[in-house]
A and B are shown apart, each in its own frame.
Chain A
Amino acid sequence: MTETQPSSPATPPPSSPVAPASATALATPSARRRWAVPAVVATAVAGAFVAPPLLAAAGDASLPEVTPLELLAEVAEAEPMALTGTAVYTARLGLPEIPFAEIAGADPIALLAGSSTIRVWTDGEERSRAALLGPASEYSVVRDGPEAWTYSSEEDAVVHYALSAEDEARYEALADQLRAGPSPEVAGELPTPEEAARLVLDRAEEHSTVSLDAQTTVAGRDAYQLVVTPRSTETLVARVVVAVDAETSTPLRVQVWSTQDEATPALDVGFTDVTFAAPEDAVLEFTAPASATVEEVVVPLPEVTEMERTEGAAKGELPEGVTVAGEGWESVTTLTGLDVAALVAGDPAALASVPGSERTLGSESAQELIGEFLPEDGEGGHPGLSLDGAALYEQLTTEVPEGRLLSSSLLSLLVTEDGRVLVGAVPAETLRGMA
């Protein structure tokens, strides 16, 4: 190097003798001991990072004894709490490889595999916000009574879901009755532990046995664990474990175990951090940013008679073109007359061919739960889907003699060549046998 160094008076000859400073440094008896310092530092650092989780895990929750049914009732009766929290969602559905790397930012399609972090704010009443966090992006779902918005930071796009003017007046009038009822359906909804637990526990007793597992700690809070085990052995769902906060009876974590993997849950959504305090108003409000593209979607409010019909659907009165075989967890829903190719291509007109509302299908079974977890599954092809729906469909399904099959550790879906769609939380062989 020919550059001159101002800190030195002159460049010495290469064969210069040992500098005096180094001689004294080597002479000190502590020379070797100095190498102990990094070892001590490394140990201290490792300790500082490893110890807190271990200590937290060691906390033995000694909560008063309850029976499973008491706990179930407590959860059902508990008032929804205002809360702010961070939840981690993990899916191990055993789906075929999807090029998730192609997804640039936070997109609900990422919920199909891997881990995602979701932040949740709710006032326990009508207003809530859930945000799926990407590395430098975010996908938000904001609800405010009869209105809802989704915002994708990557596309700078807003979808605004609202009732029509007449419906809104009717909503206000019916608000009290409807409060527990349907709020607008949002394409690309985000799963939260509470929502998922509600779906499982609502009808837990009908086709399942409910028991308690060891008490645990979730997000630093003592919790009971409810285990819902399907009575049927024909289903892919081995059990659903719901961790319920001992103090507030709020579900803190839901794990869905598949019969095909004993080691890890196939779906796992749970809070890593939660505080039961009302979020600030600014968080629950939403105004579309000036730069964003806004798509307006008017959601029809079901007529009262229609709502009754929806409730009746569970008892067997199904919309035209839909049949349900079997009961509870092992039930298989068959849809006929679907233009799958057009749906997959994201043709909104084809959505009209979907018989009834997706949400009314076999509402008591695991299917709805899975619908919650898989907001945009293979048959969805929502217009808002950013990936090429057809390519995704090709990648997720495999060719079988009966048609195209999507097989995951919790759900199987078979699209036959004559336009029928069979879907259920059962092994793929069962569907192929029925086709």
Chain B
Amino acid sequence: MSRAEGGSRLLRSELSLVFGRRRNITLLVGLATVPLLLGIVLFVTQDSALAGQGPGFVGRVTGNGLFLVVSSLVMCLPFLLPLTIGIASGDAIAGEAQAGTLRYLLAVPVSRTRVLVVKAVAALAFAGAAVAAIALMALLSGAVLFGLDDVTLLSGSTVPLGEGVLRIAGVAVYVGLSLTGLVAVGLFFSTLTEVPVGAMAATVVVAIVSAVLDTLPQLAAIHPGLLTHHWLDFAEFLRLEVDWGVLGEGLAVQGAWVAIFASLAWSRFTTADVTS
């Protein structure tokens, strides 16, 4: 068995492990019910006095089902998505360590670096699946409940449905990519402990602390570097002229977090004394 073959086999088994686990499937289903619930609530109340109101893009949903994608992502971004990422990435190494299976995994003739890469890819895939579950379910329920229409941008211009769908897809992709930093943080925590719950909680705490720090005006100097600071920049896709510089900056910050925490995770994992 060649090394590359071993790696891809490992990846396949890891992916089927992550996506086959009942807890993870439940998580995805749970996330997918958020847009469904939101859509139903808005559908039922659309003739009441409260119609057309709500934070973010909720007020626009009844007019155009496409906005259910954006408002669902906005609702899940502060807590539910970080929680999902925390569970998936925090469990990656620590879960195997706790179950006592890590040393058997390392006995496979594949380098530790490769094992870590496989774990990271699987966690990223799960993060992507979480965003996709929300976005697709929102698109589906939005289309069924409210219908799809030309998209009115934040600037007041209206773009045709095709371009609107592309822009909303851009929003979902950006949200997915802005979670990569958190995946790296979770993976690092996962290499530190044999208690997966600890790594999961620490990952969620990082996201929440980052969001809290982002609201303190006294810390304005460090805001641009915070993990969560650029998360809402997906709104750029809904402006008249998409400023790719703004989006690039947000992704560059995620890249920086990924680089630092992935290298930390690598150092830790390749030097750690694995006993279980």
Contacts and interface: CB of A to CB of B under 8 A. Distances in A.
B47 interface: no
A38 B157 contact: no
Nearest to A152: B156
Contact of A1 (B55, B98, B274): B98
Contact of A21 (B13, B74, B245, B274): B274
B96 A11 contact: no
B267 A37 contact: yes
Interface of A: 1, 3, 5-9, 11-12, 14, 16, 18-22, 25-26, 31-32, 34-35, 37-38, 41-42, 44-45, 48-49, 86, 104, 114, 119, 129, 131, 133, 135-138, 140, 142, 149, 151, 153, 156, 158, 273, 280, 282-283, 285-292
Contacts of A136: 56-57, 74, 154, 232, 235, 238
Nearest to B100: A12
The CB with the most chain A CB atoms within 10 A, among B156, B241, B266, is that of B156
Given A1-B95, A49-B256, A136-B57, A34 B267 contact: yes
A137 B154 CA distance: 6
Contacts of A9: 104
Interface of B: 13-14, 16-17, 20-21, 23, 52, 55-57, 59-60, 63, 74, 95-96, 98-107, 112, 152, 154-158, 196, 217, 225, 232, 235, 238-241, 243, 245, 252, 256, 259-260, 263-264, 266-267, 270-276
A273 B243 CA distance: 11
Given A1-B196, A25-B271, A7 B155 contact: no
6 contacts: A8-B99, A25-B272, A26-B273, A38-B267, A104-B55, A129-B240
Nearest to A31: B271
A287 B55 contact: no
A3 B23 contact: yes
The CB with the most chain B CB atoms within 10 A, among A19, A135, A290, is that of A19
A16 B275 contact: yes
Contact of B156 (A5, A25, A26, A153): A153
B160 to A, nearest CB: 12
A116 B248 CA distance: 20
Nearest to B16: A6
Contacts of A135: 232, 235
Contacts of B103: 12, 16, 19, 21-22
A283 B157 CA distance: 9
A22 B103 CA distance: 8
A290 B243 CA distance: 25
Contacts of B13: 6-7
A83 to B, nearest CB: 13
Looking at chain B's contact residues, the main secondary structure is helix
The CB with the most chain A CB atoms within 10 A, among B21, B52, B196, B235, is that of B235
Contact of A22 (B57, B267, B275): B275
A119 B245 CA distance: 13
A273 B99 contact: no
A131 B239 contact: yes
B63 A291 contact: yes
A156 B256 CA distance: 37
A44 B16 CA distance: 36
A140 B16 CA distance: 49
A49 B225 contact: yes
**7 shortest interchain CB distances as A-B pairs:** A8-B101, A19-B103, A151-B156, A21-B106, A138-B154, A289-B152, A22-B274
A158 B156 contact: yes
Contacts of A16: 100, 103, 275-276
A156 B63 CA distance: 12
A26 B274 CA distance: 10
Contacts of B59: 156
Contacts of A5: 17, 95-96, 99, 101
Nearest to A113: B217
Contact of B276 (A14, A32, A129, A149): A14
A8 B13 CA distance: 11
A131 B238 CA distance: 13
B106 A19 contact: yes
The CB with the most chain A CB atoms within 10 A, among B96, B196, B264, is that of B264
A42 B260 contact: yes
B263 A37 contact: yes
Given A35-B271, A273-B245, A283 B104 contact: no
Contacts of B20: 6
